Amino acid sequence: TPTHSTTTGSSAPTTPSTVQTTTTSAWTPTPTPVSTLSITTITVSPIIKCCELNDTFYASGEVVYNGTHGDTCYFVNCSLSCTLEFYNWSCPSTPSPTPTPSKSTPTSSKPLPTPSKPTPSTTKPPACPDFDPPRQENETWWLCDCFMATCKYNNTVEIVRVECEPPPMPTCSNGLTPVRVSDPDGCCWHWECDCYCTGWGDPHYVTFDGLYYSYQGNCTYVLVEEISPSVDNFGVYIDNYHCDPNDKVSCPRTLIVRHETQEVLIKTVHMMPMEVQVQVNRQAVAVPYKKYGLEVSKSGINYVVDIPELGVLVSYNGLSFSVRLPYHRFGNNTKGQCGTCTNTTSDDC
C-alpha cells in the first residue's frame, strides 16, 4: 500500500506569495502481523568426534542413543566436554508430549530374593554397562589418535589426550647411535640400543654390548640363539676351521642362519680368489633369493640375510660377519658367542 506525505510552506495572509509544495511518494511492504522475520547468524565450527561407544565416534552435542527398554525410556548424549551423559525416565503409557528428560543415576536392580535360597551379590555391576565390552569404574582403555578413555560412573566416560614427554637419549655400550622405537600403544616412543655383533680375522669378536675378545676354535659355534624361544627355530651359527695348522689360527668357513623351515648356508668355497656359495636347505640357490619371509641378497662383497618380520640382518663375506637384532624383540634373551644383548658388558663372557 503506497504512503503519501506532503510538506507545505506557509505565507502571510495580506501579501500574495508563491506556495511551494513538495510531494514525496514511497512504496513500502505492508507489515504482516502474523510473524516477524528474524535473521540469525550461525557460526559452524569443525566437528570433533570426541565420544566413543561400541567403536563408533560421536561429535559433541550429538545424540548417541534414544530408545526404550521395558517401561523406561533412555537418552544418551555426547556432551560438550566429550563425555557420554545418560538420561532415563518412565515412559508414558499413552501418547503425550515428550517429557523433559531428567538426568539421574541409575540404580542396579536385583531380582527379589527367594526366601529359601537367597543369592547374595558378590560382583560389582559395571559402571559403564552399555559399552562393549562393559567397563568397570575407573577402567581405562586406548582410543585412536592417542586418546585414552576412563569409565567414571553411570555410562559417563572421560576422554583425555595422552601427552608424550621426550625420553632422554641413552648411551649404547656398543657405541651405536640409539634408535627411536614406538611404544606398543603406538602413541609415545622411546630409545633403544640395537644388538650388534661382529667377527673377523682369526677370529676376533665384538659382542652385542661391545665387549672385544679373541677365540680360536675348530668347530661350529653358536653366535646367537634365544634363551627363551619366542621365534620358531631361530639361530645364527659360524663354522670355523684351522686355516693355518702351524699356528692353529681359525678362519670362518660357513655362516648358518636358521629361521622356521629354512636353513641358509653361506659357504666359502675358495679363498684366493674369494668365492662364496649360498645354499638353502642344502640346495644351491641364485641370489637374490626370497621365500617364506626370508631374503638373501648381495651388497658389495657382502651376502646379506634379511628377516623383515623379526628385523634381523646378518651379513658375511667369507672373512667377516655381522649380526644385527632389534632390542625390543631380542633384548635380555640371547646366548652364544655374541653375548646377552643387555646394553652392558658386565654379563658377557
Q: Is the pLDDT of residue 119 over 60?
A: no
Residues whose CB is less than 8 angstroms from the CB of residue 231 and which lie 6 or more positions away in sequence, other chains included: 259, 260, 310
Q: What is the pLDDT of residue 28?
A: 42
User: Structural domains in the chain?
Assistant: 46-93+125-163 (no CATH), 193-347 (3.40.1000)
Q: What is the pLDDT of residue 145?
A: 78
Cell of 236: 645364527
- The owner of cell 530408545 is 67
Q: What is the pLDDT of residue 62?
A: 84
Query: What confidence tens digit (pLDDT) does each residue in 254-291 have?
Result: 999 999 999 999 999 887 888 899 999 999 999 999 99
Q: Between 203 and 199, name the one with better pLDDT.
A: 199
Q: Is the pLDDT of residue 104 over 50?
A: no
What dihedral angle (degrees, nearest 10) is formed by the CA atoms of 151, 154, 160, 165?
-30
Is 128 exposed, middle or buried (CB count within 10 Å of its CB: 0-12, 13-18, 19+)? buried
Q: Is the pLDDT of residue 146 over 60?
A: yes
Query: What confidence tens digit (pLDDT) does each residue in 59-95 have?
Result: 877 888 787 766 677 778 788 778 877 777 667 654 4
Q: What is the pLDDT of residue 36?
A: 40
CB 310 within 8 A of CB 334: no
pTM confidence score: 0.60
Q: What is the pLDDT of residue 42?
A: 37
- pLDDT grade for 171, boundaries at 50, 70 and 90: very high
Q: What is the pLDDT of residue 37?
A: 38
Nearest C-alpha neighbor of 318 from the set 205, 215, 238, 226: 238
